[in-house]
Amino acid sequence: NAGVTQTPKFQVLKTGQSMTLQCAQDMNHEYMSWYRQDPGMGLRLIHYSVGAGITDQGEVPNGYNVSRSTTEDFPLRLLSAAPSQTSVYFCASSPDRSSYNSPLHFGNGTRLTVT
Amino acid sequence: AQSVTQLGSHVSVSEGALVLLRCNYSSSVPPYLFWYVQYPNQGLQLLLKYTTGATLVKGINGFEAEFKKSETSFHLTKPSAHMSDAAEYFCAVSDLGDTGFQKLVFGTGTRLLVSP
């Protein structure tokens, strides 16, 4: 009964380093998404996917890459980390390709600091 | 593009008092609206949603929200606050992405503080 699992929970990077935030779900959900949460700005959508091989950009995609090779996994890649990417990142999934029809299931987040 | 505005980044109430968290939406088509709650160090979980039908929607933990098209509002209420209601609350609206699929757009959140 794992749900949405995000790893790592915490990460500190230096400016210019790259890394991948992992997200896996065991509910066979088609829809997966990545959000970042910043104080006073709520949650902003980075990228989302409506199925394996299909991704689309959200509100703030710059500096991030995604791919969806399997239903279960939706990794978020930071190509060259910048201090502006310091944030809490949430992965969320839903059984429906139209996210309004079923609730989003959220992971517990990854807290990323870029120095 | 759809958007939501949450008035008040912080709301303070006493235990037993009415909770009212405000949300106004901007939408050119009938919207799908949601309220999510986030407890400390956790992800978000769904409180309630409005898609079609009855405009007064009941959710978990005694919360409810009313969709008012004339006011473009979807305010969240609870008659009597409990200490365990202290959390951050997010209003969200469903929007259409470039690929034609629905995605959620969140408001900036309102932190509810409950005092004894």
Is B81's pLDDT higher than 90? yes
Residues of chain A found within 8 Å of residue B102, distances taken between Cβ atoms: 98-101
Q: What is the DSSP string of A16-71?
A: T--EEEEEEESS--SEEEEEEEETTTEEEEEEEEEETTEEEE-S--TTEEE--SSS
Strand-pair partners of A64: A78
Residues of chain B found within 8 Å of residue A58, distances taken between Cβ atoms: 97, 103
Residues of chain A found within 8 Å of residue B36, distances taken between Cβ atoms: 104
pLDDT at res. B102 = 72
The per-residue pLDDT for range B19-66, each reduced to its tens digit, is 999 999 987 777 889 999 999 888 899 999 998 888 899 999 999 999
Check if the beta carbon of residue B110 is closer than 8 Å to that of residue B8: yes
User: Is residue B31 less than 8 Å (CB to CB) from chain A?
Assistant: no
A18 to chain B, minimum CA–CA distance in Å?
25
Contact state of B103 with A90 under an 8 Å Cβ cutoff? no
The per-residue pLDDT for range A76-104, each reduced to its tens digit, is 999 999 999 999 999 999 988 765 677 88
How do strand B110-115 and strand B10-14 relate by DSSP bridges?
Answer: parallel
User: Is residue A89 less than 8 Å (CB to CB) from chain B?
Assistant: no
Largest separation between any pair of C-alpha atoms in chain A: 40
Check if the beta carbon of residue A105 is closer than 8 Å to that of residue A93: yes
Of the candidates B41, B97, B106, the beta carbon closest to that of A43 is on B106
Coil, strand, or helix at residue B31? coil
Q: Which residues contact A71 (CB under 8 A, 6 or more apart)?
A: A28, A29, A30, A51, A52
Check if the beta carbon of residue A31 is closer than 8 Å to that of residue A96: yes
B87: its two tokens: 């959390």
